[in-house]
Structure 1
Amino acid sequence: MISRFSGVGGVIGGLIGVVTLSVVTGILVAATFTPAVVLAGGAINSGVSVFNGLPSYITIDTLPQQNRLFGTLKGKQVQFATIFSQNREEVAWDAVSDNAKNAAVDGEDRRFYQHGGIDPTGIVRAAVATLSGRDVQGASTIAQQLVKNIFIVKATQLKTEAAQKKAIAEAQAPTIDRKLKEMKLAIALEKKYTKQQILLAYLNIAGFGGTTYGIEAAAHRYYNTSAKNLTIAQGASLIAIVQEPSVRAPINASGYAQNTLRRDVILRAEFAAKDITKAELDTALATPVNAKTVHLTDPANGCFAATLSAKFFCDYVVRAAVPTLTSLGSTAAEREASWQKGGWDIHTTINLSLQQTAQKIMWAAVPKNPSQLRLGGASVSVEAGTGRILLMTENKKFDNTGSGKKDSTAVNYNVDVAAGGGVGFQVGSTYKPFTLLTWLKAGHGLYESVNATPYPVDQTTIEDTCQPNHYPYVGTWVYKNDTSYERGYMSVMSGTAASVNGVFVNMGKQLDQCDIMKTAQSLGVHPGDGRPLIHLPSAVLGINNIAPLTMAAAYAGIANNGVFCSPVAVDYVVSPAGKQEPGQPKACHRAIDPDIDAAAIYAMKGVMNGGTGSAANPGDGTPLFGKTGTTDSSVHTWIVGASSRVATAVWVGNVRGHVPLRQVYLAGGNASYLRHVVFRATQAAIDKKYPGHDWATVKPIYFYGSLRTGYGYGGTGGYGTGVTTGTGGTGATGTGTGKGNGKGGAKPPKPGH
């Protein structure tokens, strides 16, 4: 862009500027041929002082590039998003047409191949013209413009917006001091690099309007072609932009006219330099710059422009995964700077084929903007044993432009606040497996009988060792079952399949609430807002607000025989230098004893086979376990389930408000049923690509338990339903006598355990 000297101030100031600039220019010219300058005289000494005080070192660094996101499609890595702060694709010398190179030299610096970084003739001509009141003139060589752009690029990489703006203003300030600094550094560039390197660097760094930088991105932006295939007219048109992008970018009628004027000047300069023939000049001049010849192509930048089905996942990767990648730097600041500089290929965990299928299922089942309520829907799948996120869908369209469209949102319902989501949603009965696992850990069994009848709970008898007072709760807690016929005694196995609140409330009364919370935490469970898990007695019924991704990862840990793996979204990255680097590390730990885990899975398989989740079972023969969840007044509905390979969480509920889904009927049926529709079809697609197998056989002790409550294992004689009198089964209680010669049950725990 042309440097301006309008800031010198008045005729006298302008005269002083011309004299000073001329003197120092002479010194700088001498510097291009001698290692040191030794001159004398008043004005000359002053010039030498200015010269010696200027910086003299600058390098052509790697420029900010596009970052690219990849996923797997039919076994191949396929790009699905491009992320950049500057739309630039740095290209090699042979990838740029001579038509662009000639236009840059003839239009911007016709003595480029003769001077050593500065053009004394041009400087004096520009200064005199400016001083005399004619058009403000500039005399920046290509090397000088490159210096200025290098400083602008460095400015854009500063940490704060205020610092960036200040540095950019300094890099473009119309002052003699800045111009002298630019000149000396231009000379330094010419000494360090070849003409070819300097010209290529200029073409790759120059701004072409908006966020478009570099000749390759400009060729795509304005003419939907590559830098290598630019015509004479197109090359001149693009170079015409660089002096005043806001005026000469061919994006509208005014831009067409201004671009044509400057383009034609460049074309005539090319002819004068004998870089094009008269016939080529005439043809190029006759080519209009208008809506027919300009093919504006919007840069596919950001997650808004990502592959249609993967926009929310893209946003999650950028927000939550990239900032953790140590391949980009050892500190958060280094990683951010490296990402902004760009050039990284991020190879993610997403299976694009599954993603496309799952997104179609979600959009077909859960409407984006029904009139009855503010409805949301989300599904997410996590691979057991790795934590790899395979798919992530939402019923809304992704839109982070602030458009306010009711069928769109920038909030990712699948993830935590910190990752671009919300606070999560009450998970209802999908939280019950953590009570079930804790029940089994405590020595209880699946066939133990528990009173399912809802009755007021005296909370003073409920233990919570996470509190200083281990029995901290007061008052009475009143709850209800989902239906009135869920009453009387039933086994934990039956209560799990039917998701009976009374069964789990009474299981919870016999457990330490702190232990239930710790079981959940061991499987990565946490609220979406980052607060601690609530572990009140009512927490067994799922009052915590948790994101679907968190629940899917927890169930993947159960599916993986009790080994939990934190969810990850990046498999590996490729650096700007082309080197493959690690992605997010696999982080797994033993959360649940495998025998206890197998017993819990056995119970939860009943949910998917005859229980509350039967409608979500695709019936393809793949063994599945799961748990449904419906919060009070059916404000939120869930199903979380898994095969041995993949766990999936589906949520459908109120984004805002408290409209009962059971009272809403949509095109796909009752709104509370939509979760089953989504899960069933999604799981069927998953099972085809990730065929699962059954889990381990349950050890008998976990059917009957080792404590003296409910049904107990009767040693070698089977199990009984009565009071153990010395010959009954281990842990048997009731009103009869258990058969067998096993030992009697352990002493009853203290109240509330």
Structure 2
Amino acid sequence: MSAQNSRPKGVLSGVFGMFGFSVIAGILVTVMVTPALAVTGVTASNGIGIFDSLPEFIEIGNQPQRNEIFVTDGVNPDGTPLYTPIAQVYSQNREEVKWDAVSQFVKDATIAGEDRRFYEHGGVDLQGVIRAAVGNVAGGDTSGASTLSMQLVKNIYIQEALQRPDEADQKAGIKKAQEGSFDRKIKEMKLAIGLEKRYTKDEILLAYLNIAGFGGNNYGIQSAAKRYFGVSAAEVTLAQAASLIAIVQEPGARGLDSPENYENNKSRRDVILRNMLVEGTITQAQLDEALAVPVDPTTVVLTPYTNGCIAAYPYATYFCDYVTKLIPELESLGATPAERNANWKIGGYKIYTSLDLRLQRVAQDTLAAGAPAGETRLQLGAAATSVQVGTGRILSMAQNKTFNNTEAAQADPTLTSVNYNTDFNRGGSNGFQVGSTYKLFTLLNWLNSGRGLNEVVDGNARTLQQSAFTNTCTGGADGNNDGPFGGNWPFKNSSGEKGSRTVMAATAASINGAYASMGLELDQCETKKIAQSLGVHPAMTVDDPSTPNDFENKLKSNPSAILGTDSIAPLTMAAAYAGVANHGVYCKPIAVDGVTNFEGQALPGQTQECAQAIDPEVAATAAFALQGAMKGYRGKPNDNTPMMGKTGTTDSSNQTWLVSSSTAVTTALWFGNVQGNYKISNYPGGINNRHNLSKPINAQANALYGGAAFDKPADRLLNGAGINAPDVVGNPMATAQSIITGLKLVFVDGGPVDAASPAGSVASTDPPAGTVMARGQTITVYSSNGALTTMPDVVTGGPNVDTAKSTLATAGFASVQEKCVQLAPTDVVNDKRVLSSNPAPGTVARLSDGVTLGVGRISC
């Protein structure tokens, strides 16, 4: 800005310097206040006292202007993020500019139209005051006589009123700033004089041009020039400059947003142009040319508004909305949430965020194609969030609907302002039940308790008593979300699986029965605490200390929570899984890398908040189990990047998930019902849609960020504290029961089976001897019914048939038959000898079955 005035203040400025402001006060009281004194009876000396008591200075300050939000779109040659703007968010469409960025036509038009003696007076134009006073005496009107300095004072007060949080207070403040009273006019005069003492003329003129309203939500000359003519304030023509200044006195009647105002605007514009000729700032030729320019649709080019996230870059609208919801938390914007909101409203900030458009575009395009927003069979929703492992930076945030926060969204199912990826108080939904993706936290509790992946647990579907589960949270400060719980808990396996499984296999196959068995041996409170340590919370959580026992605000710790009955946002699940991939270190999700204020000063963004949530060996072993699961999923990109993951499906199949991760990026994908219970398994592609949508997103994340090998699992957590199933075959059943229960295993009599061992002794066990089992798990023991035996050898040596029958009878065979084997007449030696048997010697035979002996005979 120029430090010099364009023209000297002239004689009046010298008068001010010679006689001081007390002289001015007397003059002002005489010409402005005396008519009022005659009516009210107040003395002139009191009027001067009132004037002297008014504040002398007012700060021009910073006016509300645009905030900008940036995302990354690659990297610069030096490796720093390449930022690109995606949105402008502002309460007033204003872009403050410097002196040299404003056309001289604008400056001259402002003087000619608003204050022709601006460079001659000292804030108050006495000629104008006297002229207005005459009108005031005649009709009591206090209008007129306002210099640019006085108008600036009024606008400053209007802007201060607009910053008030309460709408009623705003209106009252604006009304007061505009009221036609002597008090206001006198106050404006003194403050205008104060401005002239403190600022140069050019500074005052520029401040006026930056603060003035130009109709609608357009404030400041730069935004008005762009809105109405599509050019900057430095590029406007003479006719455009006069047309813009024509607006400021009556924005509602002369603003160019409405064609109805074009004629009024032109009339005032032409007056300003002619004044400019009189002032000598333009030539007759310039005047004639400008007057010939119409004010109509051929010259007014309205540039669409770009305010808010609805007008943001289409790929990043929901992320834009998420960032705006973080403003109360951005400490660089102020000391308190209220101060941060107020400063954001004033604006001028540039917010540099973590979103990577290279990943975002793939995620958004994938969801748009694979989860049609206009689907009519159900209210179909899909969302995907990716976070950077080790930092918590949100790299993508996509969903299948189009962001729209207007009334249009109520009638169009393809539109919504609800961000499915995040919590309710961040613009999100109530969350979605996460299904078996929640099993991770039971697995972590299992491993943290010293148990192993190779331990075998009962995987059968069944009904359990809720009271059988341990829950040390019960009755604690967390309230009724933690029980105690009673009654039956029936559950099933989604694919009807039966039998026992290792924890490793049960995780890959997501067997509910196995995880219920694991839960029986764990403290459900501890599972909940582990989940919370990884940032897990219901999407409806409200950070309000006055509601500590709000049922909706707490994770559940009842037995069914093992299977993922809590409604959680995808961003929350992505960050939790990223903590496992990050050696057990959880990093709170963040979106803002840095900020600059209106002065270009760099300010910090969100602080990375990372902490060791779970033991590194536990995290590594859990990741190993999830790698085993991911091997069977179609969502893996098969690009040689090591990945872990876990699927989830609710009992009613209305929500499906896949949370997958490399060591660099974690992505949580949800595909399901926004509302309702349409079975996703009946939708084309079924639950595999979660894989089909995740695969290209994972492939792009791996291509951009890579991924190393996960940590090796801890040897101690492979077999864990398991118990080898004992070898009790051949023992009496009572002995077997004593051995099994003594090892803290459960003995179940499976009943008799055909066996060769003595009747009543143990014939076999399930699982067999040597299997690593978890304490409390079941061994089914089968007793021998003695129905089998080993076929005696009654062939070798060719015993006599009677001897063979006697042997077989002693062995327990009830039925023995002969089959004649024809001998040669000379083969007398083998006559009546046993030559073969069926069953053959040494084979297992059922005693109840008959035996056929091949007996040699000379004559059959």
Counterpart amino acid of residue 434 in structure 1 = F
SS of corresponding position for 2:164:
coil
Match of 1:373 among 378, 384, 403: 378
Match of 1:317 among 319, 323, 347: 323
Match of 2:510 in 1: 499
Match of 2:706 among 691, 706, 712: 691
SS of corresponding position for 2:340:
helix
Measure the CA separation in 2 of the matches of 1:664 and 1:58. 66
- The alpha-carbon deviation at position 664 of structure 1 amounts to 2.4
**Pair 1:517-2:517 in alignment:** no
> C-alpha deviations, 1:336-375, integer Å up to 9, x for none?
1211111111111111221122111111111102111111
Match of 1:475 in 2: 487
Match of 1:15 in 2: none
SS of corresponding position for 1:81:
strand
Match of 1:534 in 2: 556
- The alpha-carbon deviation at position 120 of structure 1 amounts to 2.0
Measure the CA separation in 2 of the matches of 1:281 and 1:96. 20
Q: Do the aligned partners of 2:507 and 2:626 also contact (CA within 8 Å) in 1?
A: yes
Measure the CA separation in 1 of the matches of 2:467 and 2:332. 52
Q: 1 or 2 for the larger relative contact order (CA 8 Å, sep ≥6)? A: 1
SS of corresponding position for 2:723:
coil
Match of 1:392 among 379, 394, 397: 397
- The alpha-carbon deviation at position 748 of structure 1 amounts to 6.5
Counterparts in 2 of 1:177-576, with a 5 A limit?
177-319=183-325, 321-403=326-408, 404=410, 405-468=412-475, 472-484=484-496, 486-530=497-541, 531-576=553-598
Measure the CA separation in 2 of the matches of 1:360 and 1:745. 47
Counterparts in 2 of 1:634-649, with a 5 A limit?
634-649=653-668
- The alpha-carbon deviation at position 274 of structure 1 amounts to 1.1
Counterpart amino acid of residue 649 in structure 1 = A
Cα distance change on mapping 1:711 and 1:419 into 2, 3 Å: farther
Cα distance change on mapping 1:735 and 1:643 into 2, 3 Å: closer
Measure the CA separation in 2 of the matches of 1:568 and 1:644. 18
Counterpart amino acid of residue 151 in structure 2 = Q
Counterpart amino acid of residue 54 in structure 1 = L
Match of 2:90 in 1: 84
- The alpha-carbon deviation at position 54 of structure 1 amounts to 2.2
Superposed CA RMSD in Å reads 2.9
Match of 1:19 in 2: none
Match of 1:678 in 2: 693
SS of corresponding position for 1:213:
coil
Measure the CA separation in 1 of the matches of 2:739 and 2:708. 39
**Pair 1:99-2:105 in alignment:** yes
Worse-superposed segment, 160-169 or 38-47: 38-47
Match of 1:148 among 112, 136, 154: 154
Measure the CA separation in 2 of the matches of 1:626 and 1:602. 10
- The alpha-carbon deviation at position 166 of structure 1 amounts to 1.2
Match of 2:145 in 1: 139
Cα distance change on mapping 1:134 and 1:35 into 2, 3 Å: closer
**Pair 1:659-2:659 in alignment:** no
> C-alpha deviations, 1:223-256, integer Å up to 9, x for none?
0100011110000000000001111011232111
Worse-superposed segment, 113-122 or 38-47: 38-47
Cα distance change on mapping 1:468 and 1:253 into 2, 3 Å: closer
Q: Do the aligned partners of 1:32 and 1:116 also contact (CA within 8 Å) in 2?
A: no
Measure the CA separation in 2 of the matches of 1:136 and 1:226. 36
Counterpart amino acid of residue 188 in structure 1 = G
SS of corresponding position for 1:626:
strand
- The alpha-carbon deviation at position 327 of structure 1 amounts to 1.0
Q: Do the aligned partners of 1:448 and 1:710 also contact (CA within 8 Å) in 2?
A: no
- The alpha-carbon deviation at position 599 of structure 1 amounts to 1.1
Q: Do the aligned partners of 2:355 and 2:395 also contact (CA within 8 Å) in 1?
A: yes
SS of corresponding position for 1:165:
helix
SS of corresponding position for 1:502:
helix
> Share of identical aligned residues, percent?
48
Measure the CA separation in 1 of the matches of 2:522 and 2:18. 84
Worse-superposed segment, 375-384 or 151-160: 151-160
Aligned residues: 701
Match of 1:650 in 2: 669
- The alpha-carbon deviation at position 204 of structure 1 amounts to 0.7
Cα distance change on mapping 1:124 and 1:735 into 2, 3 Å: closer
SS of corresponding position for 2:634:
helix
Match of 1:601 in 2: 623
Measure the CA separation in 1 of the matches of 2:54 and 2:164. 23
Cα distance change on mapping 1:711 and 1:394 into 2, 3 Å: farther
Q: Do the aligned partners of 1:652 and 1:674 also contact (CA within 8 Å) in 2?
A: yes
SS of corresponding position for 2:702:
helix
Worse-superposed segment, 246-255 or 414-423: 246-255
Match of 2:754 in 1: none
Match of 2:605 in 1: 583
Measure the CA separation in 2 of the matches of 1:199 and 1:407. 48
Match of 1:629 in 2: 648
SS of corresponding position for 2:445:
helix
Cα distance change on mapping 1:312 and 1:456 into 2, 3 Å: same
Worse-superposed segment, 556-565 or 124-133: 124-133
Measure the CA separation in 2 of the matches of 1:237 and 1:170. 28
Cα distance change on mapping 1:592 and 1:663 into 2, 3 Å: same
SS of corresponding position for 1:102:
helix
- The alpha-carbon deviation at position 135 of structure 1 amounts to 10
Q: Do the aligned partners of 2:725 and 2:770 also contact (CA within 8 Å) in 1?
A: no
- Bigger Rg, structure 1 or 2: 2
Measure the CA separation in 2 of the matches of 1:32 and 1:132. 33
Measure the CA separation in 1 of the matches of 2:698 and 2:18. 71
Measure the CA separation in 2 of the matches of 1:638 and 1:158. 44
Q: Do the aligned partners of 1:29 and 1:120 also contact (CA within 8 Å) in 2?
A: no
SS of corresponding position for 1:74:
strand
Counterpart amino acid of residue 378 in structure 2 = L
- The alpha-carbon deviation at position 125 of structure 1 amounts to 2.6
Counterpart amino acid of residue 653 in structure 2 = S
Measure the CA separation in 2 of the matches of 1:474 and 1:46. 82
- The alpha-carbon deviation at position 583 of structure 1 amounts to 0.8
Measure the CA separation in 1 of the matches of 2:100 and 2:208. 15
- TM-score, with normalisation over the residues of structure 2? 0.78
Counterpart amino acid of residue 540 in structure 2 = D
- The alpha-carbon deviation at position 123 of structure 1 amounts to 2.6
Measure the CA separation in 2 of the matches of 1:188 and 1:379. 57
- TM-score, with normalisation over the residues of structure 1? 0.88
Counterpart amino acid of residue 411 in structure 1 = V
Measure the CA separation in 1 of the matches of 2:310 and 2:701. 26
Measure the CA separation in 2 of the matches of 1:723 and 1:573. 70
Counterpart amino acid of residue 54 in structure 2 = L
